């Protein structure tokens, strides 16, 4: 396994989900309710009926038509394989005492939070404009890596919210440094804004802060989001057809998977074009 923050070409390699090295933890540990995203109710710690004995999904190729679109937008940032292979040493939750399985399910979301923070911190180190805070970024990156290597007991007791807040403050400083180079008139502050269903077709949002903004079902067709801060933005059903997200800050794969887009949507190199996006705008 690569060490996070190592000298490998992309230290985020281990922060990508590898279902072949996981025991289907997201399909067991996490709850979901019958809705537009899930066809059934499932409690935390209860295996999804679609989970096979080999830890793979029995309807993976048809999740959306089967009513499980929520599964297609989820990403564990590699927490599944880490908990399965590192924290619990490759021992399947199906074997052994019930208490160990329960602890594995409790630890999984904690590690998922930590891995998401590692993703953001690694991205921050790739941003030249953020050099003034790179020393602090490396410090918190190392601290977060150490936390992921904790024992099941240590991880279960971790106040991940407090650590997330500390990292969040540093990422905000990072964002301000980077967006300062986009031009004063373009640094719109839309942090936490309720933009559900907003008509923003062709909008100039270069360098805007959209941290935590609700953009559910918003029309961002052809919008210019270059250099915009999208950390925590809710992009469910957001129309990104032909939008330009080049250099967008802290954009993650789960956010894109929840949105709609096209072949004309321009994306940062760190993310992939979702398979369900249309080939034409």
Contacts of 110 (CB under 8 A, 6+ apart): 155, 156, 158, 160
Query: Global pTM?
Result: 0.90
Each residue of 92-139: pLDDT tens digit?
999 989 999 999 999 999 999 999 999 999 999 999 999 999 999 999
Q: Identify the CA nearest to 207 among candidates 239, 233, 180, 232.
A: 180
Contacts of 126 (CB under 8 A, 6+ apart): none
Please determine, for residue 183, whether its predicted confidence score (pLDDT) is greater than 70.
Answer: no
Phi, psi of 2 (to 5 degrees): -70, 150
Q: What is the pLDDT of residue 188?
A: 83
- Report how far apart, in Å, the C-alpha atoms of 258 and of each of 42, 200, 252, 277 are: 21, 18, 10, 10
With bands split at pLDDT 50, 70 and 90, how would you rate the model's confidence at 196?
Answer: very high
- Residue 73 to residue 44: CA distance in whole angstroms: 18
Q: What is the pLDDT of residue 4?
A: 36
With bands split at pLDDT 50, 70 and 90, how would you rate the model's confidence at 178?
Answer: very high
Neighbours of 120 (CB within 10 A): 23
- Percent of residues, the chain, with pLDDT higher than 90: 85
With bands split at pLDDT 50, 70 and 90, how would you rate the model's confidence at 59?
Answer: very high
Look at residue 146 and give its three-state secondary structure.
helix
Q: What is the pLDDT of residue 187?
A: 61
For the chain, what is the radius of gyration of the CA atoms? 19
Helix segments in 184-280, DSSP class H: 253-258
Q: Identify the CA nearest to 175 among candidates 161, 191, 164.
A: 191
Q: What is the pLDDT of residue 9?
A: 59
- Residue 159 to residue 21: CA distance in whole angstroms: 27
What is the residue whose two structure tokens read 């373009």?
A: 186
Please determine, for residue 81, whether its predicted confidence score (pLDDT) is greater than 60.
Answer: yes
Q: What is the pLDDT of residue 219?
A: 98
Q: What is the pLDDT of residue 207?
A: 94
Please determine, for residue 203, whether its predicted confidence score (pLDDT) is greater than 80.
Answer: yes
- Residue 7 to residue 132: CA distance in whole angstroms: 21
Question: Quick one: 1 exposed, middle or buried, by C-beta within 10 A (0-12, 13-18, 19+)?
Answer: exposed
Please determine, for residue 3, whether its predicted confidence score (pLDDT) is greater than 90.
Answer: no
Angle in degrees, CA 189, 192, 197, rounded to 5: 100
Q: What is the pLDDT of residue 275?
A: 86
- Residue 239 to residue 112: CA distance in whole angstroms: 27
């Amino acid at each position: 396994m690569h060490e996070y923050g190592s000298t490998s070409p992309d230290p985020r390699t281990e922060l990508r989900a590898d279902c072949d090295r996981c025991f289907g933890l997201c399909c067991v540990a996490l709850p979901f309710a019958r809705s537009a995203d899930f066809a059934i109710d499932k409690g935390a710690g209860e295996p999804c009926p679609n989970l096979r004995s080999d830890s793979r999904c029995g309807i993976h190729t048809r999740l959306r038509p089967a009513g499980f679109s929520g599964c297609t937008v989820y990403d564990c940032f590699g927490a599944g394989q880490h908990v399965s292979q590192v924290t619990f040493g490759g021992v399947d939750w199906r074997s052994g005492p019930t208490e160990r399985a329960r602890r594995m399910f409790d630890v999984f979301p904690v590690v998922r939070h930590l891995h998401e923070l590692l993703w953001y911190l690694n991205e921050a180190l790739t941003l030249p404009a953020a050099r003034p805070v790179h020393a602090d970024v490396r410090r918190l990156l190392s601290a977060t890596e150490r936390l992921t290597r904790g024992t099941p007991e240590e991880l279960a007791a971790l106040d991940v919210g407090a650590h997330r807040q500390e990292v969040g403050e540093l990422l905000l400083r990072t964002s301000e440094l980077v967006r300062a180079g986009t031009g004063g008139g373009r640094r719109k502050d839309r942090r936490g804004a309720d933009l559900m269903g907003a008509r923003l077709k062709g909008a100039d949002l270069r360098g805007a802060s959209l941290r935590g903004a609700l953009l559910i079902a918003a029309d961002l067709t052809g919008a210019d989001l270059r250099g915009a801060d999208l950390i925590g933005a809710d992009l469910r059903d957001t129309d990104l057809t032909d939008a330009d997200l080049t250099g967008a800050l802290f954009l993650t794969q789960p956010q894109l998977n929840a949105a709609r887009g096209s072949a004309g949507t321009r994306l940062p190199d760190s993310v992939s074009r979702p398979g369900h996006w249309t080939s034409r705008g």
